[in-house]
Chain A
Amino acid sequence: MSSNVSDLLQDIEEKEANAYKEVEVHKDIELNYDLGHLLASDTNPLNLKELRSNTNSFLQKLTRDNCQLVVNKLYALQSKVIDGFQVAQLPAPITLLPRSKPVPKPKPPTKWELFAKEKGIQKKKKEKLVWDDVAKEWKPRYGFKRINSERDDWLIEVPDNNTDPNVDLFAKKVEEKKERIAKNELQRLRNIARAQKLKIPGTGGVLPKLSDTKEELAKVVSLAKSSTASLGKFEETMKDEKPVKRTKKRKYGDNFGDVKAETEKSLEILDHIQNKNPKIDIDKAVNSLISTEEKE
């Protein structure tokens, strides 16, 4: 009976030692940890003999040991209990990972941004709230319930005696705002068109640039000249100025035109085609030569 108890105790001890052995892993060189990524790198040399003889079991054991080391480290970290689960708090990752997507290209600058850069104008931070002296309270600079809102205007003075008193100044204000919005939209589209190098309607494709070629300048000059009320009819030409070449408008012949002339022109074209063909029919000559040779 006593032997039984001691056996049992020994058994239990052995099992405990085994369990402890599985948890504790010995390594000659300690692993490099990056717990933020749950990463550990093993720099210990591999046992090549064993790796070759029984690859699978060796790799499995190595992986298990290393995983065990990572898990050991995790248990050593500070932990919290969230919803009844113990959660380890990971430190910030050390290894830098490359991004999966390329770095986004910078947006093409708008016309204003270009101008501001040239003039050295910098953006100033403005407070969101502004003091309204009339209402005696802070109001947002823009947006709902903003300062100087049209909603606050219950009365608009007629500016002076010269203006027509029957004009609805409220409607005029709304109209002006609509126009400002439309202008902004147009400028936005122009910015897009400029960025994509499209032709911008209404400019005939000529916009001032830093480097205008001679042809481009000539185009601009001709466009400016023809942009008068009389389409440039009375514009003076400078000395040595060459007239601008214009592409001919495509014109088709008349359906009911001179039939004789039309036929004659067709015949002329036909003559031209046939004159192009060689006078000596080489194929025929070769063929006749072959046939005579065959007869011989």
Chain B
Amino acid sequence: MRPLTEDETKLVFEKLTKYIGDNVRQLLQRSDGNYCFRMQKDRVYYCSLRLMRLACNLSRKEIISLGTCFGKFTHSKKFVLHVTALDFLAPYAKYKIWLKPSAEQQFLYGNHVLKSGLGRISENTPRHYGVVVYSMADLPLGFGVAAKSATDCRHADPMSIVCYHQADIGMYLREEDTLI
């Protein structure tokens, strides 16, 4: 376990700002205590300082997980967000998408969101920005990347993709063994 290097921090924050914008600041400066990002076996964890200190008593080999796993660095050193980060992305999300009940299952099985399944979309969503996907009952289902800006969505063909799938809560079942 170790703190992130400058380059790694940059990559992580760049990815996070796509979803929650300036709210990354809220993750770093919390009123309820000190929290930090730590790297363990290529995975980035977000945890309280107290928990991190406790975990330091264990050797690197023995730590499986601590706090919340935000994502991991791939072999080519790119940062990928995991579903586990959803708990922190959902409350701060800048851009949101609401799914019709008929499209929920499709998304939860790992498919992209089509225009036909789109219930609502927050205004001014730019293209290629991170969006958090909600059900109509405001339950966060996952997140993705907007394939079209909000205005383009209005004119889009019903079968065209509106949001590229990144992660969904169905992954807790589908990728149970690789997800930490």
Contacts and interface: CB of A to CB of B under 8 A. Distances in A.
Contacts of B49: 259
A193 B39 CA distance: 39
A48 interface: no
A263 B28 CA distance: 7
B56 interface: yes
B22 interface: yes
Majority SS at the chain A contact face: helix
B25 interface: yes
A267 interface: yes
Contact of A259 (B25, B34, B56): B34
A255 B52 contact: yes
Given A256-B53, A283-B126, A284-B124, A270 B24 contact: yes
B151 interface: yes
A284 B1 contact: no
Given A287-B150, A287-B151, A269 B9 contact: yes
A274 B22 contact: yes
Interface string B42-58: 00000001001100100
Nearest to B56: A255
B38 interface: yes
| Contact-residue size bin, chain A (C-beta under 8 Å from the other chain) | 20 to 34
A119 to B, nearest CB: 51
Nearest to B3: A253
Interface in B38-95: 38, 49, 52-53, 56
Contacts of A269: 6, 9-10, 13
A257 interface: yes
A283 B14 contact: no
A274 B28 contact: no
B3 A255 contact: yes
A283 B150 CA distance: 10
Interface in B1-39: 1-3, 5-6, 9-10, 13-14, 17, 22, 24-25, 28-29, 34, 36-38
Highest count of chain B CB atoms <10 Å: which of A254, A257, A273: A273
B127 interface: yes
Contacts of A290: 151
B149 interface: yes
A273 B5 contact: no
A109 to B, nearest CB: 40
A291 interface: yes
A272 B124 CA distance: 24
A228 B34 CA distance: 50
A107 to B, nearest CB: 38
A42 interface: no
A112 interface: no
Contacts of B9: 265-266, 269
Interface string A239-274: 000000000000011111101001101110110111
Contact of A256 (B6, B14, B56, B127): B56
B13 A266 contact: yes
Contacts of A256: 53, 56
Given A253-B3, A291-B151, A273 B56 contact: no
A259 B17 contact: no
Highest count of chain B CB atoms <10 Å: which of A255, A266, A281, A284: A266
Contacts of A272: 10
B62 to A, nearest CB: 16
15 contacts: A253-B2, A255-B38, A256-B53, A262-B3, A263-B36, A266-B13, A267-B25, A267-B28, A269-B9, A270-B13, A270-B28, A273-B13, A283-B124, A284-B126, A287-B149
The 7 closest A-B pairs by CB, nearest first: A253-B3, A283-B126, A252-B2, A287-B151, A269-B9, A270-B13, A284-B124
Given A262-B36, A266-B13, A273-B13, 5 more contacts: A255-B38, A270-B25, A270-B28, A287-B124, A287-B150
Interface of B: 1-3, 5-6, 9-10, 13-14, 17, 22, 24-25, 28-29, 34, 36-38, 49, 52-53, 56, 124, 126-127, 149-151
